[in-house]
Amino acid sequence: MIKVEEENRGSVVLRRAAEYTPPSSWRTWLIGRPLQTADAPHQTIGKAIGLAVFASDALSSTAYATQEILIILAVAGTVAFGYVFPISIAIVILMAIVTISYQQTIHAYPGGGGAYIVSRDNLGELPAQIAGAALLTDYILTVAVSVSSGVAQIVSAYPEIFAYRVHISVILVFFIMLINMRGVKESGAAFALPTYFFVVMMYITVGVGLFRALTGSLGPVIDPPELEAIHALQGVTAFLILHAFSSGTAALTGIEAISNGITAFKEPRSRNAGITLIWMALILGSLFLGISYLAREIGTIPSEIETVISQLARTIFHGQAGLYLAVIAATTVILVMAANTAFADFPRLSALLAADGFLPRQLTYRGSRLVFSRGIALLALVASLLIIVFNASVTRLIPLYAIGVFSSFTLSQAGMARRWWKIGHLEPGQELKERGSMLRYESGWQLKMVINGFGALCTLVVMFVFAITKFRDGAWIVLILTPSLVAIFSSIHQHYRNLAKRLSLDNYGLPPRIPRHRVILPISGVHRGSLSALQYARTLSDDITAVHVCTDPEEASKTQQKWEKWGDGVRLVLLDSPYRLLAEPLLEYIESIANQRQPNEIITVIVPQFVPKRWINNLLHTQTALWLRLALLFKPGIVITDVPYQVE
Amino acid sequence: MIKVEEENRGSVVLRRAAEYTPPSSWRTWLIGRPLQTADAPHQTIGKAIGLAVFASDALSSTAYATQEILIILAVAGTVAFGYVFPISIAIVILMAIVTISYQQTIHAYPGGGGAYIVSRDNLGELPAQIAGAALLTDYILTVAVSVSSGVAQIVSAYPEIFAYRVHISVILVFFIMLINMRGVKESGAAFALPTYFFVVMMYITVGVGLFRALTGSLGPVIDPPELEAIHALQGVTAFLILHAFSSGTAALTGIEAISNGITAFKEPRSRNAGITLIWMALILGSLFLGISYLAREIGTIPSEIETVISQLARTIFHGQAGLYLAVIAATTVILVMAANTAFADFPRLSALLAADGFLPRQLTYRGSRLVFSRGIALLALVASLLIIVFNASVTRLIPLYAIGVFSSFTLSQAGMARRWWKIGHLEPGQELKERGSMLRYESGWQLKMVINGFGALCTLVVMFVFAITKFRDGAWIVLILTPSLVAIFSSIHQHYRNLAKRLSLDNYGLPPRIPRHRVILPISGVHRGSLSALQYARTLSDDITAVHVCTDPEEASKTQQKWEKWGDGVRLVLLDSPYRLLAEPLLEYIESIANQRQPNEIITVIVPQFVPKRWINNLLHTQTALWLRLALLFKPGIVITDVPYQVE
């Protein structure tokens, strides 16, 4: 087990495998047996499961995107509903642009290339931090919104559980958290079935619908919900169309998920991830177009009472049983699943940010199942808090939710455009290494730059339209939150940088040996515990001062008498404490000694500490030693030694 | 400031006044400036304020005692209401017996003689613990019941705040807590006015009522509430009368308060406390008799809708304005005040129990205002919890509430009877010192013993009747709670006794000096922090082993290289941790070293510890050192030394 590795300059280095194996516990039962670091590469996923894990967020948006467009168009009356299909086509074109852009990103950044990395390498630190903040906010909101909205579907079916919707939502979040704690492969398997069930159900719906439309057997919606009263009908303006377009772009949320999660894929990672992205875009685009086309065809009415999907399904399937119920169930489940996408990406992104020193380093720690378990737990916690604060209300959460996505789209594509520009200015054959990728000259970079640049422009416009039209609904919260997060990132970064500087051994001369110890020994009384600390103190130095804080004159004189018998000639200071405080006078005394210390003299405070056998018994003792320790840690030149004395 | 007190056997003892004075803070603003221990004797109270502090609990019971009797009698129909006055007379006689008994107690125990002390000195440890448990429970319930009931009165006047009754109750509890934290004198002053206001208002009511009854101008209650439907009218049985009697004895709750609080009185304490007790009994008895007499005279009906006091006041004062409103307001306030009595007694009793080692020692600590602030906080906390759990419902809290009082009455009076017996068997002139008092022969001890014995018997009977008739309403909770508390007392006592034995210096031979240190130095990397810990380690021993847990091979080889340069020839062990754990493998390694240690060899684990300037920055570091320390504390023979390294 032990082998001497090297003997060099007098330093013996031994290498040794720890014999510790984690015992089976409730954690094993909950999330599975711990995995060794060497097992890591096996925890990756193929394309089919990858689609289920990373696409549920994007696919779930087909459940509401068409409806969002119709709601905006409704202010111009039912005549305006004709625009839904052209707008949908425009959105699908935008989707195609974004997909192509991300396709290029995935191949350029095989180590994971979300908006954060692309911005960092091509645009600089601040844009990267903005992208990071926007994405983290977005992932948290994805969890809160999707789970709340999924629970809202159940609640509309069973109104009697309305009062428990917050509880149910939070329980669901923690359930998804646990599945993710088990590891990405298992969570993929758990989520593959419902995702594919949704895709199949939607294709059946759209397929049957189109077939019946072509054969002329598809009539209009029977008994549609009433169009909600509009104060004054507006005309169809360019702004209205733009507004409807931007609302419909909700269909694009989640499309970036794969580019963040490339490392979760089996080798060849970039290729697998890229193919998965194309599949996802094709499914998403075709379903969205099909739904929008059919929705106009049968004359659905956007309403809070009945969703467009519901109107579509019951018209296509003749009523509310069988296939209809399956569609509704699948829609409900996919909305909850969408949260899982965020659980796959948030921990990876936060680990990236942490590795760069913008978030606490602990987030880079892989837990017993080799996933970033702290990131997973953090996401569950913050999302649950959000659900509780917003009372699981989707309406109040939704407006917070798209700005982050579109700002990260914009930054990512602008970064890619800049990258093409850099590549175009390289010599053929020249290579440039950046932190996240390798740059090589490519011909045709101009077209690619234009595509990315155009994509960036489109998403930028969408972002501004979103921010302006939804400002009062809550978008302003994001405009406060994102800069705050960036400020937090910076201050964390500052801390780590300072720390590294202060710890650095560059230009460090080993300080001279410590010539002399002064020992201070606070005692609460004279007993075996304090005497064993005294024994220890004697091994350090001959300059020992025992200190007893007197709050009770009787006890003080008892301590004095005992010390004269047992104190072995060591000096005792009795500190009168008129305000009956223990730690504060002691601290003040130690400080006054510390202020007089000579250079290269070190002060060691030896704290005798009872250790009761059972934890609960600590409640029966004043934890003065603990407070003293915490306060002394902040004073330079003082070492604190605990001499434990186990009793019972 | 510093003077050498003594030089003896080589031990120099210095006495020194701590220069530390507590700074002004939010606490000063909240509860007043800290007081020196030397100020203690001034914080006592005279008879007038003593009556207000200690009597509000007892006096407040006149607000409901008559009504409780009528409610029981109602099962036999309105004809049975005639028994209310004779029963009240019987209760007042019982009250007189209890008062005389406590009068004797107060003079026998000038240092404070509640049921706990009397039982401890005369009946033994177990009865004392039962009395202590019963009283503590009772004080907590007093706070919960009185505050809830006071708030219920406000709520019946303003039904719109019903939803906030728990919040209001808890806020009131913490308000009373704060006043008590300021100290007994101030809290007395704050509470004197409302108590006297209540007493005056009640005397006016009873006085005007009696005058009008004598002059024949007092008619029956106009429009009384309906008598609630009784399933089947029962006859008047002895059990019914006894049951009504026991319900009415609620008037006696709180009468023991003064005997617990004797030390709060100005000198001569016993005399002042005794006189206050007599005043209290006279006021209580006369008001109770007056109310019971008038209640029968005007034909009040016991009801949940309108209290007897309310019916009385509006009949006597012709309607619901002016004096009527003053009576209702005074009644509300006195109910809240009653909680204050518990706040005066609970901390004293818990400090007594703590000094005897039955409760955590911290409860004997006098806070900055010389009151037992921890006991006060504990009471507020537990009472608030109870209010929250029982949703501030008086009806559900009340049945828990009287058994404790009557068991403590019984034990206290039985103890006094046993004391008279002991006194009677002393020689004249002989003195016997007990823990709480001094015994001297007194003639006439037989009569006094009979009085106390009769009192004990009466209260015992009442206690049993209470326990039987109210068992299903919640009295069973007390029958579980009291033994549990006694068990907790015993286990705490056990712990302190064991501790004292293990720490005792009797038969203790100073162990031989420690010949040899082995030092283990866990390092997370090689940097200024770990090197300064290494410097310190060198002063302790030449046998040093640095240990680095490797979770990342790259980092491990970096650490190794750096150590070879900077490690000063000290041995480094690299511990491979396949499960990426830090603390556990380290702990296992240290244990394996500890198990091999030679006798009288001591192992010192030196933990280099970053100390960020700001607390919040600790969130940015894994607190491995902390967990290691906590785990190591439990291993014998290991000393833990923190070498702090302040950064920023």
Q: In angstroms, what separates the C-alpha of A544 from chain B's closest C-alpha?
A: 11
Give buried/exposed letters for B182-221 (b at 16+ CB in 10 A, else e): bbbbbbbebbbebbebbbebbebbbebbbebeeeeebeeb
A200 has a pLDDT exceeding 90:
yes
Q: Based on the number of CB atoms within 10 Å of its own CB, is B443 exposed (0-12), middle (13-18) or buried (19 or more)?
A: exposed
Residue B171 has a CB neighbour count (10 Å cut-off) of 14
- Cβ within 8 Å of residue A490, ≥6 positions away: A129, A358
Q: In angstroms, what separates the C-alpha of B306 from chain A's closest C-alpha?
A: 35
pLDDT at A228: 65
| Ranges A466-475, A597-606, B392-401, B416-425, most confident | B416-425
Chain B residues touching residue A567 (CB < 8 angstroms):
11
- Cβ within 8 Å of residue B355, ≥6 positions away: B364
pLDDT at B293: 94
Once rounded to an integer, what is the mean pLDDT over residues A513-541?
A: 87
| Ranges A440-444, B293-297, B458-462, B625-629, most confident | B293-297
B423 has a pLDDT exceeding 60:
yes
List, in sequence order, every beta strand (DSSP E) within A377-467. Answer: 431-433, 438-440
A128 has a pLDDT exceeding 90:
yes
Indicate the residue of A526, A579, A646 with minimum beta-carbon distance to B636. A646
pLDDT at B129: 93
Indicate the residue of A8, A16, A527 with minimum beta-carbon distance to B575. A16
β-strand B438-440 against B431-433: which pairing, if any?
antiparallel
A3 has a pLDDT exceeding 60:
no
Q: Do A576 and B16 touch (CB under 8 A)?
A: yes
Chain A residues touching residue B496 (CB < 8 angstroms):
620
Indicate the residue of B531, B569, B641 with minimum beta-carbon distance to A510. B531
B155 has a pLDDT exceeding 60:
yes
Band of residue A514 on the pLDDT scale cut at 50, 70, 90 = low
Chain B residues touching residue A526 (CB < 8 angstroms):
505
pLDDT digits 0-9 by tens, B502-513: 888 887 776 666
Band of residue A294 on the pLDDT scale cut at 50, 70, 90 = very high
Query: Could you give the CA distance from residue B270 to residue B275 in angstroms, rounded to a whole number?
Result: 8
- Radius of gyration for the alpha carbons in chain A, expressed in angstroms and rounded: 32
Query: Could you give the CA distance from residue B243 to residue B247 in angstroms, rounded to a whole number?
Result: 6
B415 has a pLDDT exceeding 90:
yes
Q: Do B5 and A643 touch (CB under 8 A)?
A: no
pLDDT at B68: 82
pLDDT at B515: 67
Nearest chain A residue to B609 by CA: give it.
A633
A488 has a pLDDT exceeding 90:
yes
Q: Do B588 and A20 touch (CB under 8 A)?
A: yes
Q: Do B578 and A18 touch (CB under 8 A)?
A: yes
- For chain B, percent of residues with pLDDT exceeding 70: 92
Lowest mean pLDDT among A404-413, A624-633, B547-556: A624-633
Q: Do B6 and A632 touch (CB under 8 A)?
A: no
B159 prior amide bond cis, ω within 30: no
Chain A residues touching residue B183 (CB < 8 angstroms):
none
Once rounded to an integer, what is the mean pLDDT over residues A489-503?
A: 89
pLDDT at A210: 93
Once rounded to an integer, what is the mean pLDDT over residues A89-108?
A: 88
Nearest chain A residue to B592 by CA: give it.
A19
- Chain A interface, best mutation among B37, B559, B566, B607, by max A CB count within 10 A: B37
N-to-C CA span, chain B? 36
B3 has a pLDDT exceeding 60:
no
Indicate the residue of B536, B581, B634 with minimum beta-carbon distance to A22. B581
pLDDT digits 0-9 by tens, A545-563: 999 998 888 888 899 999 9
Q: For residue B609, what is the enclosing H or E element?
A: strand B601-611
Chain B residues touching residue A366 (CB < 8 angstroms):
580
Lowest mean pLDDT among A117-126, A522-531, A619-628, B216-225: A619-628
Q: Do B528 and A508 touch (CB under 8 A)?
A: yes
pLDDT at B38: 72
pLDDT digits 0-9 by tens, A329-348: 898 888 888 888 888 889 98
List, in sequence order, every beta strand (DSSP E) within B451-579. Answer: 516-522, 544-550, 571-576
pLDDT at B230: 57
**3-class secondary structure, A391:** coil
pLDDT at B45: 80
Q: Is the dihedral of CA A497, A501, A506, A511 positive or negative?
A: negative
Q: Do B9 and A609 touch (CB under 8 A)?
A: no
pTM of the predicted protein model: 0.76
pLDDT at B279: 94
Q: Do A602 and B539 touch (CB under 8 A)?
A: yes
Indicate the residue of B37, B505, B589 with minimum beta-carbon distance to A528. B505
β-strand A638-646 against B638-646: which pairing, if any?
antiparallel
Q: Do B16 and A517 touch (CB under 8 A)?
A: no
Q: Do B574 and A16 touch (CB under 8 A)?
A: yes
Find, among A475, A424, A407, the residue nearest to A119 by Cα.
A407
A171 has a pLDDT exceeding 60:
yes
Q: At what angle do helices B84-108 and B269-298 cross, to 10 degrees?
A: 180
ipTM of the complex: 0.78
Indicate the residue of A514, A539, A633 with minimum beta-carbon distance to B609. A633
Assigned token pair, A239: 């702004």
pLDDT digits 0-9 by tens, A211-269: 999 998 888 888 777 776 555 677 788 878 888 887 888 888 888 888 877 888 888 88
Q: In angstroms, what separates the C-alpha of A143 from chain B's closest C-alpha?
A: 25
pLDDT at B517: 84
Which residue type sits at B391? N
pLDDT at B151: 81
Chain B residues touching residue A372 (CB < 8 angstroms):
none
- Chain B interface, best mutation among A372, A496, A639, A646, by max B CB count within 10 A: A639
Output A370 or B488, whichever has higher pLDDT.
B488
Nearest chain B residue to A571 by CA: give it.
B12
Lowest mean pLDDT among A627-641, B8-22, B477-491, B512-526: B8-22
Q: Do A568 and B538 touch (CB under 8 A)?
A: no
Q: Do B36 and A642 touch (CB under 8 A)?
A: no
- Cβ within 8 Å of residue A257, ≥6 positions away: A54, A55, A57, A58, A341, A344, A345
Q: At what angle do helices B476-503 and A528-540 cross, to 10 degrees?
A: 40
Indicate the residue of A10, A536, A562 with minimum beta-carbon distance to B514. A536
Indicate the residue of B22, B579, B639 with minimum beta-carbon distance to A368. B579
Q: Do B495 and A8 touch (CB under 8 A)?
A: no
Chain A residues touching residue B551 (CB < 8 angstroms):
37
pLDDT at A1: 42
Lowest mean pLDDT among A107-121, A222-236, A421-435: A222-236
Lowest mean pLDDT among A144-158, A450-464, A621-635: A144-158
pLDDT at B172: 92
Indicate the residue of B17, B587, B611 with minimum beta-carbon distance to A576. B17
> Whole-number mean pLDDT of chain B?
84
Find, among B308, B337, B313, the residue nearest to B327 by Cα.
B313
> Whole-number mean pLDDT of chain A?
84
- For chain A, percent of residues with pLDDT exceeding 70: 92
A506 has a pLDDT exceeding 50:
yes
Once rounded to an integer, what is the mean pLDDT over residues A90-94?
A: 90
